Structure 1
Amino acid sequence: MADNNLFPVFFKVDRLNVLVVGGGNVGVEKVGALLSNCPTARLTIVATWFRPELDALVKDYPHVTVIQKPFSCGDLFGKDLVIAATNDHALNVEIWEKARSCKVLINVADTPELCDFYLGAVVQKGNLKIAISTNGKSPTVAKRLRQVLQECLPDSLDQVLEKLHLIRNRLAGDFTAKVDKLNALTDVLVESETEKH
């Protein structure tokens, strides 16, 4: 059985230039995911046509540029990430080849073998953000886990994070001492049911 060797990271997409190729259903989904996670994401969307939903989605985002034209290699210039979101497999492979030759990280929708990174299902409670990946095996399972976690995690968790942030900033001592104090303070979060009784 293969291991999941993915290394989870969180990109600051307001500091990166992201290219999305495709204006159909998949493009709408990917752009929506990017903007819901970072409303100030800097996106360029290139496609020969766009669903009306995409135009409606991006109209209030000044950092999003929509260009109606066929994909060309020049679209990769200055880009940090690319998402190929077309329903044309040959075009997606071409975008992948061009991105790889330009050393730009790429995600080809629904084609795990052509992805440098995946867009995981995301759970968010204020500042807490959890990304779920199934290593490209089943986005449906990731989506279901996201729903369960979104419902199970209390909304008040963000208040806990804010208070712990304040405490961390006030703690004295070296890194190890601060970690020990914060671990002691947060033990209650992982206390087992038997320890409570």
Structure 2
Amino acid sequence: MEENQLFPVFFKLHRLQVLVVGGGNIGLEKANALLQNCPDGNVTIVSLDFLPALEEIAHQYPNVTLIQKPFSCGDLLGKDLVIAATNDKELNYRIWEKAKVSKVLINVADTPDLCDFYLGSIVQKGNLKIAISTNGKSPTVAKRLKQVLQEAIPDTLDEVLNKLYIIRDKLKGDFSNKVKQLNSITDVLVKTDSEKI
């Protein structure tokens, strides 16, 4: 039976340089996903043409740069991640080839076999962020799960996280002892109603 063997990672995009190739709807979707999660992310978008919405994004976010030109391998210099977001499969494949040679992680939109990473559906409640992956099988299922979790997780959870952060800093002892204390404190979060009585 096939299993999802992806290793979930949360990138600090404000410390990385991201290249998006494509100025159409796919590029817009990917740029929005990046910036919704990290408004301070450093994003360069290369394309022959840009949707007006992408031009608005570049005006709104000073860390977003639009470069109007055809893609070239030099665009990968200094980049940590690249997203091939054009509707041209041959161009996307060429971008993938250049990224692999340059040892830059790449996501090729709608082509799971050419992706080093996926952009999952994200559930966020303040500091809590949950990424959902279906291993590239069904982004639609991931979006539906996102809706369910977004509604199920209370907004007040961020307040709990902030208080636990303060408690964690005040705990004494080694790492193992601190983990035991935090497990005891947070046990109430997973108890059923009958267990709480």
Give the TM-score normalised by the residue count of structure 2. 0.98
Q: Match for 2:26: what amino acid?
A: V
What are the equivalent positions in structure 2 for 1:1-197 lying under 5 Å apart?
1-197=1-197
Aligned residues: 197
SS in 2 for 1:59: helix
Q: Match for 1:86: what amino acid?
A: T
Check conservation: 2:23, 2:51, Cα contact below 8 A.
yes
Task: Give the whole-Å Cα distance in 2 for the aligned partners of 1:143 and 1:112.
Answer: 17
- 1:93, distance to aligned residue in structure 2 (A): 0.2
Identity %: 69
Deviating beyond 4 angstroms after TM superposition, the runs of 4 or more aligned structure 1 residues are: none
RMSD over aligned Cα atoms: 0.8
Flag structure 1 segments of 5+ consecutive residues without an equivalent.
none
Q: Match for 1:196: what amino acid?
A: K
Flag structure 2 segments of 5+ consecutive residues without an equivalent.
none
Task: Give the whole-Å Cα distance in 2 for the aligned partners of 1:149 and 1:40.
Answer: 26
Task: Give the whole-Å Cα distance in 2 for the aligned partners of 1:58 and 1:142.
Answer: 28
- 1:196, distance to aligned residue in structure 2 (A): 3.2
Task: Give the whole-Å Cα distance in 1 for the aligned partners of 2:55 and 2:121.
Answer: 24
- 1:55, distance to aligned residue in structure 2 (A): 1.1
Task: Give the whole-Å Cα distance in 1 for the aligned partners of 2:187 and 2:58.
Answer: 43
- Deviation track 1:149-186 (CA, whole Å, cap 9, x = no partner) reads 11111110000000000000000011111000100000
- 1:193, distance to aligned residue in structure 2 (A): 3.5
- Deviation track 1:52-103 (CA, whole Å, cap 9, x = no partner) reads 1111123111111100110000000000000000000000000000000000
Task: Give the whole-Å Cα distance in 2 for the aligned partners of 1:54 and 1:60.
Answer: 10
Task: Give the whole-Å Cα distance in 2 for the aligned partners of 1:105 and 1:57.
Answer: 24
Task: Give the whole-Å Cα distance in 1 for the aligned partners of 2:150 and 2:69.
Answer: 38
SS in 1 for 2:20: strand
SS in 2 for 1:54: helix
Task: Give the whole-Å Cα distance in 1 for the aligned partners of 2:57 and 2:65.
Answer: 12
- Deviation track 1:88-147 (CA, whole Å, cap 9, x = no partner) reads 000000000000000000000000000000000000000000000000000010011111
Q: Match for 1:182: what amino acid?
A: L
Check conservation: 2:188, 2:196, Cα contact below 8 A.
no
Task: Give the whole-Å Cα distance in 2 for the aligned partners of 1:59 and 1:78.
Answer: 23
